[in-house]
Amino acid sequence: GLEVGAAVAGGGHHENQEYPDPFFFDTEYRELLANEFTSLTPENQLKWDFVHPEPDVYDFEAADAIVEFAEQNGQDVRGHTLLWHNQNPAWLEEGDFTAAELRAILRDHIRTVVGRYAGQIDQWEVANEIFDDSGNLRAQENIWLRELGPGIVADAFRWAHEADPSAELFLNDYNVEGINAKSDAYYALVQDLLADGVPIHGMGHQAHLGLQYGFDPGLQQNLERFGDLGLVTAITELDIRMELGEDGVPTAEQVAEQARRFSAVLEACLAVDSCESFTLWGASDLYSWVPHTFAGQGSATPWTEDLERKPAYCALQRTL
């Protein structure tokens, strides 16, 4: 019953990502998405700057195409994301709005975007990365938290639920794989939200990992504790990057260790009843965000730039 998903590349705003969405022109890539996955997440195509570029303009073209593709292939879609501190349009971040106006802007956005895909987008990552690594709310960076206070998170969930009562609504963040200050903050927040009757259904663990860091053995236990609160859990953005030498080619050791870690994450998810979805942040190194974001690092997905399967792919298959 586990959904196995991938982020659908496109809509990036890195200098070197100014190609058109590969989803629209790369047939081999589309086939890979259709054949290997049961769930898709638009990587950027539902973020504010992409979908809501001007105050009165929504652009659903790319997201529509992904949702339609997923329907044709019988796949789930995870919506990403509604309340975040990144990839917001300048008109929003630099606008001069009162608190009441901002509240109305967020409510209308959520109603419009979630409402458009009601019954089609199965899970929404409503609030993304609202805590920093110390477990403090991002009360400065995040325009919604800064201008409207922490209560806006509950409102965002309520509005999303009104717009699509059938969608599962998630919190989502990175560095919440193990048990630490940040995942503790989410654990406490979830309990508060549930006590207040807020429609929250899931906790998303991004899992942007790197071979140069240790592997936190607490993942399974952490998934379990969120499941014990009655939530579903999900691995939402798994990739495992590594530092590459001048030639850009991983060593045999790195290749093997990456395979072990991909399957270790999958094993943890499979071991926990609440873990219903396992999504990779990229289905090929060719379109991965990693080289554009982390200098000197790459090879973070289970497929090479030529869309060849790596040992990580085989390790995942064996674990499934």
Q: Which is nearer to ligand XIL, 44 or 222 (CB)?
A: 44
Give me the torsion for CA of 42, 48, 52, 55, rounded to 10°: 170
Helix, strand or coil for residue 281? coil
DSSP strand pairing (297-298 vs 232-243): antiparallel
Sign of CA dihedral 65, 158, 192, 274: negative
Helix, strand or coil for residue 253? helix
Single out the residue of 5, 12, 22, 79 in contact with ligand XIL (rule: CB under 6 A).
Answer: 12
**Which range binds ligand XIL by CB under 6 A, 12-20, 181-189, 219-227, 251-259?**
12-20
The DSSP result for 103-159, as a single string, is HHHHHHHHHHHHHHTTTT--EEEEEES-B-TTS-B-TTT-HHHHHH-TTHHHHHHHH
In the set 3, 43, 237, 276, the catalytic residue is 237
Single out the residue of 36, 43, 177, 216 in contact with ligand XIL (rule: CB under 6 A).
Answer: 43
Q: Which is nearer to ligand XIL, 212 or 293 (CB)?
A: 293
**Which range binds ligand XIL by CB under 6 A, 7-15, 175-183, 214-222, 305-313?**
7-15
**Which range binds ligand XIL by CB under 6 A, 11-19, 91-99, 219-227, 261-269?**
11-19
Beta strands in 131-273 (DSSP E): 168-173, 202-205, 208-210, 232-243
Q: Which is nearer to ligand XIL, 76 or 237 (CB)?
A: 237
Measured between alpha carbons, how far is 256 from 169 in angstroms, rounded to an integer? Answer: 36
Q: Is 18 a catalytic residue?
A: no
Q: How far is the CB of 82 from ligand XIL (least distance, A)?
A: 12
Q: How far is the CB of 12 from ligand XIL (least distance, A)?
A: 3
Residue 220 binding ligand XIL, by CB under 6 A: no
Q: Which is nearer to ligand XIL, 289 or 303 (CB)?
A: 289
Measured between alpha carbons, how far is 239 from 265 in angstroms, rounded to an integer? Answer: 10
Residue 206 binding ligand XIL, by CB under 6 A: yes
The token pair that represents 75 in the structure block: 């796949």
Maximum separation of any 2 CA atoms in the chain, in Å: 57
Residue 128 binding ligand XIL, by CB under 6 A: yes
Q: Which of 55, 170, 169 is nearest to 106 (CA)?
A: 55
Single out the residue of 8, 36, 37, 44 in contact with ligand XIL (rule: CB under 6 A).
Answer: 44
**Which range binds ligand XIL by CB under 6 A, 6-14, 18-26, 65-73, 115-123?**
6-14
Measured between alpha carbons, how far is 128 from 299 in angstroms, rounded to an integer? Answer: 25
In the set 129, 168, 177, 257, the catalytic residue is 129
Residue 14 binding ligand XIL, by CB under 6 A: yes
Q: Is 237 a catalytic residue?
A: yes
Active site residues: 129, 237
The footprint of ligand XIL (CB under 6 A) covers 12-14, 43-44, 128, 174, 206, 208, 237, 289
